[in-house]
Structure 1
Amino acid sequence: MADTRFKPVVALVGRTNVGKSTLFNRLTRSRAALVANISGLTRDRHYGEGRVGDYPYIVVDTGGFEPVATRGILVEMARQTAQAIAESDVVIFLVDGREGINAHDHEIARLLRKSGQRVLLAVNKAEGMRDHAGLAQFHELGLGEPHPISAAHGDGVSALADEALAPLLAEQAAEAAGPDSGAAGEEGAPDHRIKLAIAGRPNVGKSTLINTLVGEERVIAYDLPGTTRDAIEIEFERGDRRYTLIDTAGLRRRGKVFETVEKFSVIKTLQAIEAANVVLLLIDASDGISDQDAHIAGFITETGRALVVGLNKWDAIDREQREWVQREYERKLRFLSFARVLNLSALKGQGVGPVLKAVDAAHAAAFAKLSTPKLTRTLQAAVEQQPPPRKGIFRPKMRYAHQGGQNPPRIIIHGNALDAVPDSYRRYLEGQFREAFKLAGTPLSVEFKTSHNPYLKDES
């Protein structure tokens, strides 16, 4: 089952050239940013994922911070950093252990003290300074005990991350161990509200759709891109089902994000998608299918979330435009073939009725229990109908299949020489399993596990 906890956010703050990016790479283990191809991420700032034990968290690398700047790009960078501080769960303030304290460090420390956020002071480039008297000067910043680290060599970085995340992870562990944790319904489905995130570009009608679903003006809907600044959760019930709707801020193209609050709402949108059970990707049909729609869809599928696609403002386009949109959908979003596509008008309420039914079906598919006997029979029938291609003189032999996880469903196939199975055949099997188990609306992972041959001699 996928982890639906909100990931804590750690912001790295400091003046220029103190090693923030080096620490970012160390914390994220040099992995690519969470959404390298999604809007709202500018060159002066990076988002990545770190991990403490089994708990992931988001790291934000900010630009060099000069809070006393009065003009130019430095002012904008200071505003962005201030917003990152406000939206983080914990701030790591990085200073240079070799250069010591300067006026900028004092200004940043003053702002951090006023922010009320939890702050850890990290003294970088402190190789050999752990018990050195040179650390004493950093106490005058008024931010508690300085933590000597070396971002370049990794010294003290793990301990710093552990201390930064410890209170947040303890809180999550306490929630997970609560009396209601792990409760399940009679059929094994999760006994909780369906968390539905409405995602998409700005001004595609996300807030309008939520107002229509709920039946009242619960969120601001205004014809201005970027009206929503945060992920807003709304609880409601329809029939015997309970839902939590999450209205997210729109994700813009790179270079099209001008306001500070919009830039950092990307964090909230990523968290909302990852914390949801189902995501409704809303697309403005009158504006066509953009590359940005494809980028957002790609991130949703990478997280493994169940998905429903809504083509909004369908009433605003004529027959010729509708045919063009459908062709563009097939061309740019072909990888979403598992998701149900609904044509609707959130403003007029047309086509909105099937939305929650599609969400329910996608949620049920994501948490479906797949019996091993039926999986194996489906596998055998698929192989009999179309055997896997040979590789050299060997043909992969598939013996049985079982379920390896839920949300998204994960099917593991055991056999011999399965390393040679091409992706095209994997997709063929995925289609066979989807049809047999009616798995519409959820990504599906098909994995191969080759059995060890005890008669194969070890040549090492």
Structure 2
Amino acid sequence: MSPTDDGTWVDESDWESTEFTEPTDDETAGPPPVVAVVGRPNVGKSTLVNRILGRREAVVQDVPGVTRDRVSYDALWTGHRFVVQDTGGWEPDAKGLQQLVAEQASVAMRTADAVILVVDAVVGATAGDEAAARILRRSGKPVFLAANKVDSDKGESDAAALWSLGIGEPFAVSAIHGRGVADLLDAVVAALPEVAESASTRGGPRRVALVGKPNVGKSSLLNRLAGDERSVVHDVAGTTVDPVDSLIEMDGKVWRFVDTAGLRRKVGQASGHEFYASVRTHGAIDAAEVVIVLIDGSVPLTEQDQRVLSMVIESGRALVLAFNKWDLVDEERRYQIEKEIDRELVQLRWAQRVNISAKTGRAVQKLVPALEGALASWDTRISTGRLNSWIKEVVAATPPPVRGGKQPRILFATQATARPPTFVLFTSGFLEAGYRRFLERRLRETFGFEGSPIRINVRVREKRKPKSR
């Protein structure tokens, strides 16, 4: 018995030796569209996400603020693939409410293809709900209002009262019981594109996020890039609550730097602002195609550095590592940095790395070729024929390890998507994680992919049912 990627178990001994059939359109389509579920704390967002998924994935607790960051899950409804994104609720802080509501909604607007606003129908529309609705009305994205906690016909009038929010018909649902959720999902998938809009947007300047822990030199680097030797073309703002993106010309080419100003944390700010910073970081990464992670080279790597890097890796964006403050790095510190990289960034050997000083301008010009190289890798596609010829040679030299007395075979390989390069291997048995890492290393040795993550998914051939006579 071997586990498949989705956690089910199949009996390999019952498989027949049959020819492989070509993957379906679902296997080779582009990235699925994204649906963001937003709302105040404790209105039932995570419960609704679990109901949409048909399984318990999102953490649910009767305490506001359990979900702190946005988490994405693959979902399927009536044959339509999409990603549902569970978001942290904003904290009901009277001073920071408007700002946090605006930030949460603006991040959803920029990164999702549709938004579900969840409102507690029993409580009714609050000031926070109204603020979110105002922002979402201006977004241009399909917005759906889920009037939650309508457990019976008696609550229908509570849901009807939410027409006042001005974002269309309230869908009376009970996330905990499933009532009305099917009607909501039917409407949502009908409005979704086949492929995520962000994946098909290839025109215009390439989008760059500059992220890192506080005081690492992000503002100094942005100012250096927009200095006398390079010119800011202009600033682009969306609505009044949207972050401002800077268009900066470097080496004759215009780049769009997405705003990350909210990352800076001031002394004495409440925990709600740490959440705000986390939302801004996620938003900047999701809105970008390539991310420059700025690290202070003069001090040891920190847990905050690792956390930011984890966000980038999970997002699948192209990556450039920029070790800043190199003017403060002596010979001993350089030796320590190499040791830290070998020890703590071993899984990021593929990332482009540039040692710079935003203060003095040292090696800042090397960022442009690093960004271009990372994006070229991120966009790379390998033809199915070339990929399968390569797989055949690699497997012949180094077969997959035997599992349960049987040696799995790779029947067919295809690159499902680029941005990031994602490969699907159709196999006769489960491939160990170590062998997948081996294949990734060999892919990089042969095809490059410097500066881009690679994803390898395995589809185990399901056992065939005996034909009825």
Contact 2:324–2:355 (CA under 8 A) maintained in structure 1:
yes
Cα deviation digits, residues 287-324 of structure 1 (max 9, x gap): 32112211221221112111111111122122212222
Q: 1:213 to 1:449 in 2, by over 3 A?
A: same
Report the equivalent of 1:436: 446
**Number of residue pairs the alignment of both structures matches:** 404
Contact 1:9–1:60 (CA under 8 A) maintained in structure 2:
yes
Report the equivalent of 1:31: 57
Give the residue type in structure 1 aligned to 2:435: Y
Find the aligned partners of 1:360 and 1:82 in 2 and give their Cα distance.
38
Find the aligned partners of 1:287 and 1:230 in 2 and give their Cα distance.
34
Report the equivalent of 2:100: 84
Q: 1:129 to 1:296 in 2, by over 3 A?
A: same
Contact 1:9–1:57 (CA under 8 A) maintained in structure 2:
yes
What TM-score, normalized by structure 1, do the two folds share?
A: 0.71
Q: CA deviation at 1:267?
A: 2.5
Q: CA deviation at 1:61?
A: 4.5
Q: 1:63 to 1:442 in 2, by over 3 A?
A: closer
Q: 1:389 to 1:252 in 2, by over 3 A?
A: farther
What TM-score, normalized by structure 2, do the two folds share?
A: 0.69
What does 1:324-363 correspond to in 2, within 5 Å? Answer: 324-363=336-375
Q: CA deviation at 1:211?
A: 2.3
Report the equivalent of 1:314: 326
Contact 1:210–1:247 (CA under 8 A) maintained in structure 2:
no
Find the aligned partners of 2:200 and 2:411 in 1 and give their Cα distance.
33
Match of 1:389 among 386, 398, 401: 401
Is 1:125 equivalent to 2:149 in the alignment? yes
Q: CA deviation at 1:194?
A: 1.7
SS of equivalent to 1:296: helix
Give the residue type in structure 2 aligned to 1:279: V
Q: CA deviation at 1:364?
A: 0.7
SS of equivalent to 1:287: coil
Give the residue type in structure 2 aligned to 1:441: G
SS of equivalent to 1:324: helix
Find the aligned partners of 1:110 and 1:298 in 2 and give their Cα distance.
31
Cα deviation digits, residues 185-214 of structure 1 (max 9, x gap): xxxxx5542211111112211222222223
Q: 1:292 to 1:273 in 2, by over 3 A?
A: same
Match of 2:423 among 395, 401, 411: 411
Contact 1:375–1:401 (CA under 8 A) maintained in structure 2:
yes
SS of equivalent to 1:286: coil
Q: Mind listing any 5+ residue stretches in structure 2 that lack a counterpart?
A: 1-28, 110-114, 138-143, 234-240
Find the aligned partners of 2:35 and 2:157 in 1 and give their Cα distance.
34
Find the aligned partners of 1:147 and 1:208 in 2 and give their Cα distance.
48
Is 1:245 equivalent to 2:257 in the alignment? yes
Give the residue type in structure 1 aligned to 2:100: A
Range moving further from structure 2, 429-438 or 207-216: 207-216
Q: 1:321 to 1:46 in 2, by over 3 A?
A: closer
Q: CA deviation at 1:133?
A: 6.0
Find the aligned partners of 1:281 and 1:298 in 2 and give their Cα distance.
11
Is 1:370 equivalent to 2:385 in the alignment? no
Report the equivalent of 1:94: 119
Contact 1:203–1:250 (CA under 8 A) maintained in structure 2:
no
Over the aligned positions, Cα root-mean-square deviation in angstroms equals 4.5
Q: CA deviation at 1:175?
A: 11
Find the aligned partners of 1:373 and 1:173 in 2 and give their Cα distance.
26
SS of equivalent to 2:438: helix
Cα deviation digits, residues 222-262 of structure 1 (max 9, x gap): xxxxxxx9754222344464421224246589x99637555
